[in-house]
Amino acid sequence: GIVTKLIETKSTPEDIIEYTKERSAAYKYPREVWVVPELPKGPTGKILRREVHAQVEERFNVDLSPWKESNNY
């Protein structure tokens, strides 16, 4: 999961995973959480998923290609 910090908080990615794990089905909670300063948006205000994925791959050194292939990216 990718989240932004709207306000200054002491929550960690692990806290977010635990919070969602307690309130979601076992297959729905995020296994990883990345905190980014802001999400890129287009002129209509929609989140630009391809840019988000590129930023995550670059910034956190992860490979999202298996996810992209399985989701018709």
Render pLDDT for 13-59 as a digit per residue (tens, 0 to 9).
999 999 999 999 999 999 888 888 889 999 999 999 889 888 888 88
Q: Is the pTM of this model over 0.75?
A: no
Residue 45 CB-half CA count within 13 A: 0
Q: Is 47 helix (H, G, I), strand (E, B) or coil?
A: strand
pLDDT, position 57: 85
Q: Give the integer Cα–Cα distance in Å for 52 and 67.
A: 13
Where is 73: in which H helix or E strand?
none
pLDDT, position 69: 65
pLDDT, position 19: 94
- Provide the residue count of the chain: 73
Residue 62 predicted with pLDDT over 90: no
Residues 54-59: contacts with CB under 8 Å, at least 24 apart: 56/2, 59/34
